[in-house]
Structure 1
Amino acid sequence: MFRLTVQDVFFIKGRGLVATGRVEGGEIRVGDEVRINGARAVAVEAVEQFRRKVDEAVVGDNVGLLFSGLDRSDLSPGDVLTSGAVEPASGGVEVSL
């Protein structure tokens, strides 16, 4: 399962929105679909490492993922991109006062 916490987001005119971060789990390839915070699905248009286009990225790689069709407001630092079977971060908590 792919997982990346977005560190920064910027827009490239004529190309789209780029999310940067370190791959925390799994791998990602051009054309793969990822979910933003487990909800909205979007396809990865390009994967770049240090201004070099690559076909895939694996755990530990610092990457920029390019998405077209997203607005700047659709993605923010701290958002989590995932693909594959998504496990909940927590089973929940029960609180009584």
Structure 2
Amino acid sequence: MAEETPCDEPFRFPVEDVFTLTGRGTAVAGHVESGTVRVGDRLRVIRADGRPGPSGTCSWVDVPCTIGRRAPASTSIGLIFRDLQKSDFEPGDVIVGEIEV
């Protein structure tokens, strides 16, 4: 049996910072704790106190020194959402795959 790696686990992304990028959307900075995220993934915000927050679609994955469409576990990245606002996120929230909630 193959050993499970952080990439095989459900997607978890603790929010470290949030920015508004004019013309692009809302950028959320942090690192992928487990799982993988791709452009087009439907994601949900889980509040720091455990309450479910809003959900949105990842429109871009920004990996420092590389701009791409995918980011595996332990990667520091920025996620861009066009359908969520800066006020929808706070440091300490966790973004998860919507089906993981």
Gaps (5+ residues) in structure 1? 87-97
1:3 corresponds to which residue? 12
Greater helix proportion: 2
Q: Is the CA contact 2:38–2:70 (under 8 Å) kept in the aligned structure 1?
A: yes
1:48 corresponds to which residue? 62
Deviations 1:27-80 (Å, cap 9, x if unpaired)? 000000110114321000000111532111111000000001222211111111
Cα RMSD (Å): 1.3
Q: Could you tell me the TM-score, scaled by structure 2's length?
A: 0.79
Q: Output the CA distance in 1 between the equivalents of 2:53 and 2:85.
A: 16
Q: Could you tell me the TM-score, scaled by structure 1's length?
A: 0.82
Greater Rg by CA = 1
Give the aligned length. Answer: 86
Q: Output the CA distance in 1 between the equivalents of 2:86 and 2:75.
A: 24
Displacement over 3 Å in runs of 4+: none
Q: Output the CA distance in 1 between the equivalents of 2:54 and 2:90.
A: 13
Show the 5 A alignment for 1:51-66. 52-66=66-80
